Chain A
Amino acid sequence: MKRYLLLLPLILFGAVAVMLAVGLTLNTSQVNSPLVGKPAPDFQAPSLQIPERSVRLSDLNGQVVLVNIWASWCTTCRQEHPYLMALSEQGVPIYGIDYKDERPKALAWLEQYGNAYRAIAFDAQGRVGMDWGVYGVPETYVIDRQGVIRHKHIGAITARSLREQLQPLIAELRREGES
């Protein structure tokens, strides 16, 4: 019994070391969204290109879609844009939420870098963003055929996250809907 007690400090040290190792390597800048696994919050906001027309999320039910939060003032959005273009060319419908932006600048941005979006909701006040729990731009949500958020990608999409996370997930969700 006494021998085990002598080991106690070592065991406690080990436990603290393990907790610190986990805690210090956690990426706290990526906060898990409570919305993953829940129905995507519907929104109705004016279209970026045609202000009189409104964009609604419920318009796209029944498909696997991406919802991408972006803005012309966001430099990381420029980095991920080629990957969105690639996805769009592969036939993945992407809906944009133009977050706290100015219309002319956003339109000029699309002109310059290309439009990867089926439709873009213009969210000048960040109201839609708040309902989606957006706390930084860019963020990308993957939504299944039932309209449930299945994944939230925080920060720019990279070649790696596209290959290892987004594309397999999209393929899987598409199969899920067929069977």
Chain B
Amino acid sequence: MTMTRSVFTMLLFTFVMGIGGIADAASALYRFDNTSQAQRFQTLTEQLRCLVCQGESIADSNADLAKDLRSQVHEMILAGHSNEQIMQFMTERYGDFILYKPPFVPRTYFLWAGPLLLLLLASLVMIKYVGRARRDKQSIVLQQGERERLSRLLGESREPETDRTQT
């Protein structure tokens, strides 16, 4: 047991170190004037999708295109472009699809508002059902005499039914 656990820990350790190593390698390739530039590089490249391997950001991807786009971001940061200008450069060429976070434009209204609408709808349904259940509970309380009338009515309606089944 301890044997398997230590092997597992070792594997986990290697795995985590490996990932850290790769991430370090990607940003270490680029030189920046200060740490804020390096941080901007990191955030920007994490927000841009690699169009070749679409599940990865250009910060993670090893595709040629991702490398080119990383260099482009690096160059633009050094040249003093703002984050907005860099994002605009990317979307002008590759479309909104390159952004991991879709913009709030008419085409994406439903995407952004969808969860809220569903929550609203679910709340309305819930309020309606809860309200009805409460009303039902109140109506169960019968007044004096009502109970007798009810059983009489039920008794009456039952009799003709049995008659009908017999004929």
**A positions within 8 Å CB-CB of B:** 5, 8, 28-29, 31-35, 100, 126, 130-133, 135-136
CB pair B65–A135 under 8 Å, yes or no, is yes
Q: Which residue of B lies closest to A33 (CB)?
A: B95
Residue positions of B touching A, CB distance < 8 A: 51-52, 54, 64-65, 68-69, 72, 91-97, 125, 128
Residue ID in chain B nearest A29 by CB atoms? B54
How many pairs of residues, A versus B, come closer than 8 Å at their CB atoms?
A: 39
Contact across chains for A31 and B94 when beta carbons are under 8 A apart: yes
Q: Are A130 and B93 in contact (CB under 8 A)?
A: yes
Q: Answer whether A133 and B94 are a contact pair too, CB < 8 Å, given A31-B51, A126-B68.
A: yes
Point out the residue from A32, A100, A130 that lies within 8 Å of B72, measured CB to CB: A130
Given contacts A8-B125, A135-B52, A135-B65, contact A34 B72 (CB under 8 A): no
By a CB distance below 8 angstroms, the chain B residues around A28 are 54
* Contact B68 A31, beta carbon cutoff 8 Å: no
Q: A8-B125, A100-B64, A126-B68 are in contact. Are A132 and B94 (CB under 8 A)?
A: no
15 A–B contact pairs at CB < 8 A? A31-B51, A31-B94, A31-B97, A32-B95, A34-B91, A35-B93, A100-B64, A130-B68, A130-B72, A131-B93, A135-B52, A135-B65, A135-B94, A136-B51, A136-B52
